[in-house]
Each structure stands twice: as structure tokens, then as C-alpha cells.
Amino acid sequence: MPGMRGSTPVLALALLVGVLIADVPAGVQSIGVCYGINGNNLPPPSDVVQFYKSLGITSMRVYSVQLQALDALRGSGISVILGTTNNDVAVLASSLSAAAAWVQANVKPYYRAAVDVRYISVGNELASDTAQGILAAMRNLNDALAAEGLGGAGAGIKVSTAVRLDVIANSFPPSAAVFAQPYMGDVARLLAATGAPLLANVYPYIAYRNSPRDIQLNYATFQPGATAVRDAGNGHVYTNLFDAMVDAMYAALEKAGAPGVRVVVSETGWPSAGGFAATPENARAYNQGMIDHVARGTPNRPGPIEAYVFAMFNENMKPGDETERNFGLFYPNKSPVYPMKFK
């Protein structure tokens, strides 16, 4: 995949993130980057943490308990979405004691040692047939964290689950969106009760790839010249697909009786190679546009959006089609995949 080597793009990314963070209200972190490890040529976790710090990136998402990464994060000032694996969910759902053991082994030693675990994600994009397991695991982890003084309905670590946009039906226009399965209403109400956000993986790329005749590329990539879309249901005008997708999730939460639940965009990105419309130019346009945009929020929910770019590195062993291995902002040698030009 083509890229530009050298320090200038890296410095530009650091400056962008620094400016963005300075522009959002105190206590609200806008941009993070997902750290996946499906590669045999990736830098060691200690180097990765230092790389995040050198770029001014202060939020990270990891998809499993990575002990070396957690050790490196001690005192780093980087907050973390800590994931359980999908295979962990059945065990965590089985009993409070199983969840307590997981918290004691994987959270408590690090949280007490200045690792800022912000959220725990119960799995990632789990299928609807595991719905009862998701709910039980979330409840058990909430109770286990509360028992250790690490979470609960007040301050502390919040427990959520990361979902795809296909958990909603009637996603267009955004105001018409509802959850497709009843279990998501239960998830939404649990999040409302505990003060946790819903983690949503938002991919305009996938929507555009699946429907290029119906969706303009400029609309999907935050570029000028796209035809704006008016939602008659809420009166808002949408100039990009990202906002429409996020507001569809908010509409579904409102209909489920959880209007106060915040949406955290736990993954979003655009591949630079490997498939339809996967080019460095489109990836740069989308990621730059998204980073520039999130401080403003959506038409229905103005204000900073907490969002995580997928992903830090290209991962050469990630399963799936070729695009899955080409979402990285950087190559494993830490050179940028494409230049980031900012005002």
C-alpha cells in the first residue's frame, strides 16, 4: 500500500490531535485510536504506548487483556477501553464469582497502579443469539466492579458492549431508527441505570461499499460537494453519513427509553487498500474529515463526540478480506500510510 515516509506527517497528526483536544471542554476527550495486535511484525507494546504519547493521543482501545500493554500504560495518562474477548462473555455471564475473578486478575491490579481504564467492553460486535449472555456478563461485571469500589452507578469504570450499526432497523432517515432486536432495549436501559455509554462501531465505508449508487463518496468522506439530506422527522440537515449514522443510534436509544445514554464511537475508519474505494486518498479524506468534525457533534447532539479511529497499525494477520488488514494510520515500522495535511 502506498505511503509517505518521514516525520512531517507524524508531526502533523500530533499537531492536529493537540489542537483538537485543546478545543473541547475540560474532561471530554474527543479522539482515541484503536490498538489491534493481529500482526507478526508490530512494535512491542512499550514502544506503542510511547508512540501514542509522542503524537498526543490520550485514548486507546484494546480488544483483550494485553498484559504487556497494560503494564506499559501505567502512569501514561492514556485512558483505555478494555475489551473482553467474545469467548470470555459466556464465562463472565455464568456467575458473579467468575466476573469477580476476571476483575481481580485483569482490572484491579492495573487500575490501582494508575492505568486509566475508562470503559470495559463486553465483547465486540456480538451476534444477537448471544444476547442473554451479553446482559448477564454486563450485570456481573458491574456488580464485581462495584464490590471492589471500581465502578457502579456513580463514578468509576463503566461497562458497555460494542455494537455494529446493524443492531438498528429503519436507519434512514435517522429519526426513524429503532433497535432491531428487543435485547438491545434491555442493554440500553442497563446503560442508562449505570451511567455508561453505548459503544458503537460506525463505518460509513461499509455503507458506501454496499450501496455506491445510493450514497455519494463525498457524503461518506466528509468532503464538500455532497448533496445534503434533510430528515423530515427531526428537521435536521445532514451533510455527511457519519452524523446520520450516529444520530440513528441516538434515535434508537430514545425509543428504547434511554435518551440520556451517550454514544461513544468505539471504532471508525476507512481502509487504504484491498477493496472497492479503499485508497490512501479516500482513507485520508475520511479520517481527516472525521477528526476535524467530531468536536462539533451531530445535528441532533451538538457537542464533542468521543471517537476512536480504527486503527493505529496495518495488521497483516487480521482475518477477513484484504481491507481488514489495511485500516491502519501507520505501518508497523511507525511510518505513516498516507500524509495527513491540516490547516
DSSP notation for 58-106: -EEEESS--HHHHHHTTTS--EEEEEPPTTHHHHHHH-HHHHHHHHHHH
Q: How far is CA 37 from CA 40, 42, 280, 337, in A?
A: 8, 7, 22, 17
324 is a catalytic site residue? no
**Strand pairing report for 263-268 and 237-238:** unpaired
CB distance 165 to 171 below 8 Å:
yes
CB distance 128 to 181 below 8 Å:
yes
CB distance 167 to 204 below 8 Å:
no
HSE-CB for 176 with a 13 A CA cutoff: 8
CB distance 300 to 274 below 8 Å:
no
The values of phi and psi at residue 70, to 5°, are: -65, -40
Could you tell me how far CA 133 lies from the centroid of its own chain? 22
Closest by CA to 120, choosing from 90, 75, 72, 88, is 88
**At 160, is the secondary structure helix, strand, or coil?**
strand
Helix pair angle (45-55, 8-23), 10° resolution: 60
Query: Of 267, 315, 322, 324, which is the active-site residue?
Result: 267
Strand-pairing partners, residue 32, are 308
CB distance 52 to 11 below 8 Å:
no
Query: Of 125, 148, 281, 324, which is the active-site residue?
Result: 125
Catalytic residues: 125, 267
